[in-house]
Chain A
Amino acid sequence: MNGLSLNHFLILGALLFSVGVLCVTLRRNAIGVLIGIEMMLNAANVNLVAFSRWHGHVDGAVYAIFVIMLAAAEAAVALAIVLNVFHHSASVSTDDYTEMKG
């Protein structure tokens, strides 16, 4: 396949996931965190589709569809939460959300 192998996709997924993790951990903006989460979900999708192709089954692709659907629902819920938190604390910086401090 034009020199592309399974490993390339896995490396892409791992890189994408790492970027997502870094995005979630380092970004202070709550929207940025959500984007990081989307990136991690899509990294998982890349893996699912790659393995699906590699095995010759469609099961993985079907899971990817599920994940996309899940991501959409999650984005809706998460954005609603962020909106409420913004109303509550007048900030979208996660550093200001310290209510859980022990």
Chain B
Amino acid sequence: MQTGIVLALVICAMPLLASLVISALGKNAGKWCDKVGIGAMFVSLAASVWLTLGHHEFIGQKWDFEWITVAGHPWRIGILLDGMTFALLIVVTLVSFLVHLFSRQYMHGDERFADFFRWIGFFTFSMLVLVISDNLLTLFVAWELMGLSSYKLIGHYFKKESAYLACKKAFMTTRVGDVGFFLALLALYLHTGSLQYSEIFEKAHAGVIPAVTITWISLGLFMGSMGKSAQFPLHIWLPDAMEGPTPVSALIHAATMVAAGVYLIGRMMSLICLSPVALVVIACIGAFTAIFAAAIAFTATDIKKVLAYSTISQLGFMFTALGVGSNIAWQAGMFHLVTHAFFKACLFLGSGSVIHACHHEQDMTRMGGLRKKLPLTHLTYLLACLSIAGFGIPMLPIGFAGFFSKDQILMGLWQGNGGANDDVYKTLCIVLTLTATMTSFYMFRSYWLTFWTKPRDQKIHDHAHESPWEMTTALLVLGGLAVVAGYGWANIFLPAGGEHGSLIEGLKEWEHEDVHHAHIMASIFAGFACFAGIGLSAWCYLTASGERARKAARAAISPIYNAAKRKFFMDELAETLVIRPTVVLGALLAWTDRDVVDGVVDSVGSSAVATGELSAKADDSVVDGAVHAAADVAWGGGWLFSRAQTGRLRNYFFGAVGTVALFAVIVLYLTRS
């Protein structure tokens, strides 16, 4: 086995091992679980760093084995190390390690401390299996394991009703998407006879799968991603999932689990890009989700809810980019996945630090002026905000991580894929520019409201304190990465054409000089979005005139504002259109089952019982009666004859003599002459 493969196995095995060890510790788990978890993740991270540093040697290594043979067809599963895997491995291990470190303090004193570490370990393991697998089968298994772990983690405070409702909602909503995913897997297997990436792509490009089927398969895969990555209309679970502890939000709902859906689409790009229809659908849903969630984020006052909607919105950006189907847009989507993981994890952990400092107060309207109290948290939150807003110098390669990825997304959209839908993509580019403006506005809104302005609750402000070193270290590392993660690696790990070769076959390959015009347009758009958003929010929240204007504007659009405040009635819509009909259908099916199907079964059963009773009666009375009667006759006869046995000698003698006399009389009578 090659070194890279061994390292990948070690990376995967460590979190699982930690999770098992914590389970095995039993009562001592509370004392050791944090050390076990952090230690295991450290080994995992070290192996991951080794892998990344040695990427020249390790990239492209693969290993697989025959798992089982079903109906004469061997299932091969294994590991594939390519650029995408490398990028995701380092993100997952690093964020998971920092989240472990952060949680050690944040979750301190929690009554289910050990459970928490057990499940984030297991969650990390699932995500790692998902990214190293070389086929859709193990990916799907890991995908579902992640669903399970997220269920457990969101429902960490399951004694709270809202938490257990939230974990149920997350599980059920993602399951809706999984139906499409599973159907797509079946269709793929039906047409290609395999679920290994390489084989699927080879056969798809050889024209084995009909074009219409490719579209349906792609949409099925996207449906799975919509569930996992919270795209409209399956996004409703993610904001509610903020019921979980804040580090969980950072790990699952920003950096890794929601990344699984994007990863799936990015991984299957070679197949999806064969269907222009599927591409445009993905892009449109992504863009709609982006602007839709951004609008809701404007109105959220819970600091975690702002981040939740911002996550949905940023995932929309990624899907829009992946929906273009060109080399630069694909790279941009995956690139944004990684940069987003860093700055969003930083934001979530930063919000966790704020919440920790404010004694579990999450409402921004009660915070304010915390920058002096929490200097490190403030600094890292600012860096991450600048990164998500895409802060940088337009046209020059200098900026925060989000600057590069967002820039490239807009560029990819403006450039399109050279097909019939380029006008659509240009429109989506404008939509996303608007969304990016909104992004920088609402992110800085949360920043101003939390760290600037006057303290609105003096008591909370007085008691606020900077978090312990484990938490601030995690924040500083992620904050640093939010600044520098945009440099230098994208073409190595996500090669998309040109001198680097391409990871994805069949994409529209734009050359460097083709995109010059788009690059200028995107820089203008992104620069405008960033500075306009930040400036506007600073004006609105830091100056008196701005505040008046803000209140006037809010009054002017109050119907829209109120609708957004209520999440555009998506929960109510889901309740009326999906949940209620499902419950009614369920009741109907239950009735059918109970009263019709069971009725038939019951009547068959009861008729059998009746027949049995009848037969038993016949048996008792007729057959047994005959037997008994025979026995009675024998017994009665025996009784009768036994009466003759008096035991008195005289009687016997008399009997004997009497008989002789009788015979003598008969003989005499017969021989009379």
A binding-site residues for B, Cβ under 8 Å? 21, 24-26, 28, 33, 94-95, 97-102
Contact = CB atoms under 8 A, between A and B. Distances in A.
Given A21-B657, A25-B657, A94 B650 contact: yes
Contacts of A26: 650
B640 to A, nearest CB: 10
A25 B645 contact: no
A6 B66 CA distance: 124
Interface in B260-296: none
B649 A94 contact: yes
B645 A101 contact: yes
B643 A102 contact: yes
Given A21-B657, A25-B654, A101 B649 contact: no
Given A25-B653, A97-B648, 7 more contacts: A25-B654, A26-B650, A98-B648, A99-B647, A100-B647, A101-B645, A102-B641
Contacts of B647: 97-102
Contacts of B650: 24-26, 28, 94-95
A98 B645 CA distance: 9
Contacts of B644: 102
B661 to A, nearest CB: 9
A33 B643 contact: no
Nearest to B639: A102
B646 interface: yes
Given A21-B657, A25-B654, A97 B649 contact: yes
Interface residues of B, number: 14
Contacts, number: 36
A99 B652 CA distance: 13
B646 A98 contact: yes
17 contacts: A21-B657, A24-B657, A33-B649, A94-B648, A94-B649, A95-B648, A97-B648, A98-B646, A99-B647, A100-B645, A100-B647, A100-B652, A101-B647, A102-B641, A102-B643, A102-B644, A102-B646
Of the candidates A26, A99, A101, the one having the most CB atoms from chain B within 10 angstroms of its own CB is A101
Nearest to A101: B647
A54 B644 CA distance: 43
B69 interface: no
Nearest to A97: B649
Given A21-B657, A24-B653, A102 B642 contact: yes
Listed from nearest, the 4 A-B pairs whose CB atoms lie closest are A102-B645, A101-B647, A98-B647, A102-B642
Nearest to B643: A102
Interface string B626-644: 0000000000000001111
Nearest to A30: B649
Contacts of B641: 102
A102 B651 CA distance: 13
A26 B641 CA distance: 24
A20 B104 CA distance: 124
B665 to A, nearest CB: 14
Of the candidates A24, A28, A102, the one having the most CB atoms from chain B within 10 angstroms of its own CB is A102
A95 B651 CA distance: 10
A97 B649 CA distance: 8
A98 B648 CA distance: 6
Contact of A101 (B646, B653, B654): B646
Contacts of B643: 102
A65 B646 CA distance: 37
Nearest to B645: A102
Contacts of B653: 24-25
Contacts of A25: 650, 653-654, 657
A25 B654 CA distance: 6
Interface in B60-115: none
Contacts of A33: 649
A41 to B, nearest CB: 14
A28 B649 CA distance: 9
A102 B645 CA distance: 5
B559 to A, nearest CB: 112
Contacts of A21: 657
A63 to B, nearest CB: 20
Nearest to B638: A102
A102 B646 CA distance: 6
A12 to B, nearest CB: 19
A94 B652 CA distance: 12
Interface string B588-611: 000000000000000000000000
Contacts of A95: 648, 650
A28 B320 CA distance: 128
Of the candidates B641, B644, B645, B648, the one having the most CB atoms from chain A within 10 angstroms of its own CB is B648
A99 B642 CA distance: 13
B253 to A, nearest CB: 98
A64 B645 CA distance: 35
A97 B652 CA distance: 12
A66 B641 CA distance: 39
A32 to B, nearest CB: 11
Of the candidates B644, B647, B652, B657, the one having the most CB atoms from chain A within 10 angstroms of its own CB is B647
B646 to A, nearest CB: 6
B659 to A, nearest CB: 13
A81 to B, nearest CB: 12
Nearest to B641: A102
Contacts of B642: 102
B131 to A, nearest CB: 98
B558 to A, nearest CB: 115
Contacts of A100: 645, 647, 652
B643 to A, nearest CB: 7
A94 B643 CA distance: 18
A33 B648 CA distance: 13
A34 to B, nearest CB: 11
B410 to A, nearest CB: 119
Contacts of A24: 650, 653, 657
Nearest to A98: B647
Contacts of A28: 650
A39 to B, nearest CB: 13
A33 B657 CA distance: 14
Interface string B208-237: 000000000000000000000000000000
A16 to B, nearest CB: 15
A49 B102 CA distance: 140
A99 B320 CA distance: 114
A95 B647 CA distance: 8
Contacts of A101: 645-647
Nearest to B644: A102
A25 B653 CA distance: 7
A97 B643 CA distance: 16
